[in-house]
Amino acid sequence: MQVQYDSSINTEVLKDKKIVVIGYGSQGYAHSNNLKDSGFDVKVALRKGSKTFSKLEHSNLPSAELEEAVKDADLVMLLLPDENQPDVYRQYLEPHLKPGASLGFAHGFNIHFNQIKPREDLNVFMVAPKGPGHTVRSTYTEGSGVPCLVAVHQDVTGDTKELAYAYASAIGGGRAGVIETSFKEETETDLFGEQAVLCGGVTALVQAGFETLTEAGYSPEMAYFECLHELKLIVDLMYEGGINTMRYSISNTAEYGDLTRGNRLITDDTKQAMKSILSEIQSGQFAKEYVDDCRNNYQKLHQLRDSHSKHQIETVGEKLRDMMPWIKKKPLVDQAIN
């Protein structure tokens, strides 16, 4: 896999472009401020009456309402929640974007699963930073950056790949490394990771461990500490140095238990289940199910969220975290897992 850095990325192609970033949330805030500090011509566009306009007053970024900002833009970066992007595309972008303009995404879902079918005369690319917006901004101001993935879906003017690399560099990605992928690969691996491992897999594992201990008569407080609280320590070690570093740091007893027991949980059957989760992603079955639920006012999502939020692990955890005030409650605005 080839990694490109600032030294081999030419940002000239972005120099005279009028860039419009739509949205000023997690990613929009980071991209627009980094683009401006890198010396590019950038404006933030929001919907009429948007509450976010007040957040922009603290920046020195020019802002405008969506409809007028889009008309003379050379490059539009769509940084809204993924489920709101198709309507905004249809209402504001499709009728108003200049022929030959470029449309950028930070995630491939809407393009790959045909929720947005961009006009054929547009360049379509992706720059996806591998981190939440506040990290994309804070690393940039400290002189480093977050690695970015780039991909091209439509190339009308012949320089869309160059443009994507230039954009990634302008938001700081070229300091850490820019990797080329495709909309398909980014979208499918992103969904698989969150379903099978990071979110679905981990939460199910933690809950099952908690239930096993409490059903055997152990106290919920002990079960919480052993199956959830200490997860952070393990994850931090894996993040810093992979599984080897984690195993190096834990006791020999823990390491022996890990190496002899883990594969009794994650068996060939589990792998089979992972494969079927992956094929539902690849076939578009998951995307269809999710989009249908979005259109149905998230009925299934809300119902599942509600029932899971009442699990005993949540109530006991709330009490225990009160005893540990150094565990700061993070605002729920910036997602680490997107």
Backbone angles phi and psi of 59, in degrees to 5: -105, 170
Q: Specify the stretch interacting with Mg ion by CB under 5 A; choose among 2-10, 59-67, 127-135, 185-193.
A: 185-193
CB-nearer residue toward Mg ion: 64 or 179: 179
Residue 37 CB partners (closer than 8 Å, separation 6+): 140, 141
Q: Show the tokens assigned to 133.
A: 């917006």
Q: How far apart are CA 21 and CA 35, in angstroms?
A: 10
Q: Which residue has the tokens 């938001």?
A: 171
Report the site for Mg ion in 240-269 (rule: CB under 5 A).
none
Report the site for ligand NDP in 19-58 (rule: CB under 6 A).
23-28, 46-47, 50-52
Contact map string, positions 319 to 338, toward Mg ion, x by CB under 5 A: -------------------x
Which sign does the torsion angle of CA 263, 265, 271, 277 carry? negative
CB-nearer residue toward Mg ion: 1 or 337: 337
Let me know: does 92 contact 70? Beta carbons within 8 Å. yes
Contact map string, positions 118 to 157, toward ligand NDP, x by CB under 6 A: ----------xx--xx------------------------
Residues in contact with ligand NDP, counted by CB under 6 A, come to a total of 25
Q: Does 91 bind ligand NDP (CB under 6 A)?
A: no
CB-nearer residue toward ligand NDP: 24 or 165: 24
Let me know: does 63 contact 46? Beta carbons within 8 Å. yes
Report the residue closest to Mg ion, judged by CB.
190
Judged by phi (left if over 0) then psi (alpha if -120 to 50, else beta), residue 172 lies in left
Q: Which of 107, 134, 308, 311 is catalytic?
A: 107
Q: How far apart are CA 114 and CA 116, in angstroms?
A: 5
Least separation in angstroms between residue 146's CB and ligand NDP is 9
Q: Does 27 bind Mg ion (CB under 5 A)?
A: no
Q: Does 81 bind ligand NDP (CB under 6 A)?
A: yes
Q: Show the tokens assigned to 219.
A: 């106290």
- The Cα angle at residue 322 between residues 319 and 326, in degrees rounded to 5: 145
Q: Show the tokens assigned to 321.
A: 């975290």
Q: How far apart are CA 158 and CA 152, in angstroms?
A: 11
Give the one entry of ligand NDP, Mg ion, none that residue 132 binds, where binding means its C-beta sits below a cut-off of 5 to 8 angstroms depending on kind.
ligand NDP
Least separation in angstroms between residue 334's CB and ligand NDP is 6
Residues carrying an active site annotation: 107
Chain contacts with ligand NDP (rule: CB under 6 A) = 23-28, 46-47, 50-52, 79-82, 84, 88, 106-107, 128-129, 132-133, 335, 338
